[in-house]
Chain A
Amino acid sequence: MPTRLYDWLDSRLNLKPVQRTLLDEPIPGGASWIYVFGSVTLFLFVLQAATGMFLALYYAPTPDHAYDSVRFIETEVTFGWFVRGLHHWGASSMVVAIGLHMLQTFLYGAYKKPREAMWMVGVVLFLVVMTFAFTGYLLPWDQTAYWATQIGINMVGTVPLVGDFLSRVLRGGEILGALTLSRFFAIHVLFLPAILIGGIALHLFVLRRVGPAGPWTDDRASLGSETFAPRQVYMDAVVIAAVFLVVATLAFSIPLPLTDKANPSDTSFVPVPEWYFLFYYELLKYVHGPLEPLATWVLPLCVILIMLCWPFIDRNPVRNPIRRPVALGSGLLFLFVVFGLLGISLKNLYAVPRTDPAVAQGRAMYAQLGCAGCHRIHGEGGAVAPDLSTIGDTRPDRAWHLKHFRDPQSVSPGSFMPKFPLTDQQLNDLTSYMLSLKRAT
């Protein structure tokens, strides 16, 4: 540490008491790896803020330019794809980190008196983060973004009396368009960060007034305390660095291809929300007709209110989870329902024809090789060779296609289709595209 600079500043600004307040905060029962999730969440917020600022250098929030500017970030800007990847995986990681943070708080009964306010502010922060996720999803302005947001806003529209008004406010009018995109952008990069920073400040203020909860033991008098620095700081730092490396690895190794540019007239597109909204997406499949508002707003509202008021619902002062069977049981039931729905949803997703990157590559190759000169798909292309509209149903055999592309005459004698010099990767992509061509279900 540059001690002389510190001493110079200290002699003028009297920094020692500040340092003591920040670093010597007592941790009852000593530092622990189980306490790191709050710091990890805070770090991920900083990561989102930093990467978001740099993405904003190139992003243009209008329907004319949003898609092209994101594609520009992805393909032309140096490290642009990586910064976008960090922002994408950082968002997912933040949801995971908040989940673990809340789980730890719940398990340790750390929301109980005198820390009710900290829990409640935390729940609000969680909701703000989910709003971040929802507003950020529209910004690339591709088909997924457009249609997922369309569905999200329509769900708000089912709220009785005010639903129509609320969805108009969200869209900035009757249609999802330029006004929607600019207000989602403004909310995502200006309003929500301001709210979140205020909430974090309040959350930490309450923490410092009441102190961390520590272990769930009843014999609190026997607990020694340890200073926040250096051991808890070290644990936080190690986990933060590990989380960063995981996020960076994901950003580095998994490409995030855009789907086609948003097309309001293409109603055939099946949007899929981010995984953390999937459980809810799944729930909506089971509730139809007059009961639908129950799932779109009554249930979520109830869950949010219960979460928010949980410290006042669970008035049992005991913190040891073994001696809180009701609280623990309801917590487990909640997790079971959420993860059950998430699991079912993930399973179903693989049955839905999604544009996986190989299919998109294959489609591009189909166009590039001029296959449509002879073949027809859904009415487009020539009619001299077999129609491929439902080839995935009629020829679901992957090996057949691979063999066929290498040498058409070998499996289809008399065929006049030429051989194309394709790499294995290209063969696979083209085959994936063929297999994706199925009857609409």
Chain B
Amino acid sequence: MSHSDDTQGSERAGLSTPVGSRRTFFHWVTVAAAAVVGAGLAVPLLGSLVSPAFMRRKREWVDVGPVDTLPAGRPTQLDHVTTVRDGWLEAKSQKAVWAVKQAQGEVKVFSPICTHLGCGYRWDDTEKKFLCPCHGSAYDINGQVLGGPAPRPLDVLPSKVEGGRLLVMYQDFKSGLPQSVEL
């Protein structure tokens, strides 16, 4: 039957291959085709991979309550509730920020995180100090360091008053640095 000498026979009979400019043409068309497919895939695939690295979270002004009920000269803890997007998930994020109404009526809002290593601090009304329970950092009512390992004053959050309501934009800061650096 013809099957026994199927490929072997013809292989021995002579193997032709294009040479010269024809060969070069085939070579370059192949390279061009590979480049089209390669680039056409690399851009969307790698784009989808790295794009989250360029996304910044949107910061929003959040209404934390009326200004006139805040007692002047005494820090008050206010709830700061936002919806946080985590990929396809949406979660409620609840933070408690410290608001201090000044004598002139303007309000200073502190991040609730100690600048040393990121613990939550509290206001001690008898000592009139912000005290951090973790490593003993202490701040005065203006956020200035009074003692302990804290490297910088309390971080101030952007805030404004609109129509009698206090609006606060929450931010995270790097801990342990001598100056405020937003995360």
Query: Which A residues form the contact surface with B (CB < 8 A)?
Result: 24, 26, 28, 30, 43, 47, 50-51, 54, 57-58, 60, 65, 68-69, 71-72, 76-80, 82-83, 86, 112-114, 210-214, 218, 220-221, 223-227, 229-231, 233-234, 237-238, 240-241, 244-245, 248, 317
Q: Is the interface of B mostly helix, strand, loop or mixed?
A: helix
Does residue B58 face the partner (Cβ distance < 8 Å to A)? no
CA separation between A82 and B41, bound complex, in Å?
Answer: 10
Query: Which B residues form the contact surface with A (CB < 8 A)?
Result: 1-3, 5-7, 9-11, 13-18, 23, 26-27, 29-30, 32-34, 36-37, 40-41, 43-45, 47-49, 51-52, 87-89
The smallest C-beta distance from B32 to any residue of chain A, in angstroms, reads 8
Across the interface, do A234 and B26 meet the contact criterion of CB distance under 8 Å? yes
Say whether, besides A68-B88, A77-B48, A241 and B27 are in contact (CB < 8 Å).
Answer: no
Given contacts A79-B43, A86-B44, could you give 11 more A-B pairs where the C-beta distance is less than 8 Å?
A24-B17, A26-B15, A57-B49, A79-B44, A210-B6, A221-B10, A223-B13, A224-B14, A226-B15, A240-B33, A241-B34
Contacts of A218 in B (CB 8 A): 2
Across the interface, do B18 and A225 meet the contact criterion of CB distance under 8 Å? no
Contacts of B40 in A (CB 8 A): 244-245, 248
Contacts of B10 in A (CB 8 A): 26, 28, 214, 220-221, 223-225
Across the interface, do A225 and B11 meet the contact criterion of CB distance under 8 Å? yes
Say whether, besides A69-B88, A71-B88, A221-B13, A241 and B37 are in contact (CB < 8 Å).
Answer: yes
The smallest C-beta distance from B166 to any residue of chain A, in angstroms, reads 32
Contacts of A58 in B (CB 8 A): 48, 87
Contacts of B1 in A (CB 8 A): 317
9 contacts between A and B (CB under 8 A): A57-B49, A60-B88, A78-B47, A83-B44, A211-B7, A220-B2, A220-B6, A223-B13, A317-B3
CA separation between A234 and B9, bound complex, in Å?
Answer: 26
Instruction: List the 4 closest pairs (A to B, CB-CB), nearest first.
Output: A211-B7, A78-B51, A72-B88, A241-B33
The smallest C-beta distance from A60 to any residue of chain B, in angstroms, reads 8
Across the interface, do A231 and B45 meet the contact criterion of CB distance under 8 Å? no
Contacts of B47 in A (CB 8 A): 78-79
Say whether, besides A26-B15, A30-B16, A233-B26, A50 and B33 are in contact (CB < 8 Å).
Answer: no
Across the interface, do B51 and A54 meet the contact criterion of CB distance under 8 Å? no
Across the interface, do B6 and A237 meet the contact criterion of CB distance under 8 Å? no
The smallest C-beta distance from A264 to any residue of chain B, in angstroms, reads 21
Contacts of B32 in A (CB 8 A): 241
Across the interface, do B37 and A240 meet the contact criterion of CB distance under 8 Å? yes
The smallest C-beta distance from B90 to any residue of chain A, in angstroms, reads 9
Across the interface, do A225 and B13 meet the contact criterion of CB distance under 8 Å? yes
Contacts of B41 in A (CB 8 A): 47, 50, 86, 244
